[in-house]
Amino acid sequence: MKPNNYTFDKSGVLSSLKIHFFPKPKSGQTIGNAKATFERLSQHNPAGFMPLGAYSYSQSVFLAAWIGRYCSIAGNVTVMGQSHPTDWVTSSTLPYKPRRRSRLGITGPARQLSFEDAPRPVTIGHDVWIGQNVLLKGGINIGNGAVVASGAVVTKDVAPYTIVGGNPAKKIKDRLPPKIAQGLAELEWWQYDYTSLQNLDFSSPEGFLSSFPSARDLTVLPDLRRDVFDHIAAAEAG
């Protein structure tokens, strides 16, 4: 069984694989969440690996199932903790936590109730920007091209190419005109190696769409997500 921690060293093996950290960890430092699968060309917080796609970075470590490419995630982004029942008589855990009752010295027969309270991971699409100090409800999906403003408390899915903010987070505006957003979504430009795209004008969505090369002139970047140990093993195997 693989460990869930990785010990960083100064051999440079991860840098050679284009797996980076910010800030740079010290030699011997323990990096958590080592079972997370991610692409190379990604930058992680030394507190733990995140399931990042290529060209993405995260300054935070939180519960996530999958994160796309070209994502920018600022510091202190977190996912809400355990859930509690809000439509029961009580939101207390006592009715469905027998161990807690036992610790409190509560004995005798009790109705067997169950409630799924474990935090659920979030899923984040491609080209998403999440600002600082954002709190996400477990299990939500943030669509491609979305922006979450700093300090937002996000309790629902975020639609693609929308900007949301506030507590609770609400739509502020479309990030791009719907026709442009649809064109970018259909193009799925993030599937290509950035070297195939770097001469395009990213500052002009309209120009980007109109001048986008044909697929035969582009290099697809395969989505090879592995944990850190498998990335190293694959490189050693050649």
Q: Map out the domains of the chain with their CATH numbers.
A: 1-80+121-175 (2.160.10.10), 82-118 (no CATH), 177-213 (no CATH)
Distance CA 135, CA 137 (A): 7
Q: Answer yes or no: is pLDDT of 12 > 90.
A: no
Contact between 97 and 83 under an 8 Å Cβ cutoff? The reply is no
What is the residue-averaged pLDDT of the chain? Answer: 96
| Tens-place pLDDT, residues 41-85 | 999 999 999 999 999 999 999 999 999 999 999 999 999 999 999
User: What's residue 209's pLDDT?
Assistant: 97
Residue 20: active-site member: no
Q: What is the mean pLDDT of residues 175-195?
A: 97
User: What's residue 197's pLDDT?
Assistant: 96
Residue 211 neighbours by CB under 8 Å, 6+ apart: 200, 201
44, 84, 126, 231: the catalytic one is 84
For residue 210, what is the enclosing H or E element? helix 205-210
Helix, strand, or coil here: 32?
strand
| Tens-place pLDDT, residues 210-229 | 999 998 899 999 999 999 99
User: What's residue 153's pLDDT?
Assistant: 98
User: What's residue 28's pLDDT?
Assistant: 94
User: What's residue 215's pLDDT?
Assistant: 83
Report the helix count and the strand count for the chain, using DSSP H and E. 5, 16
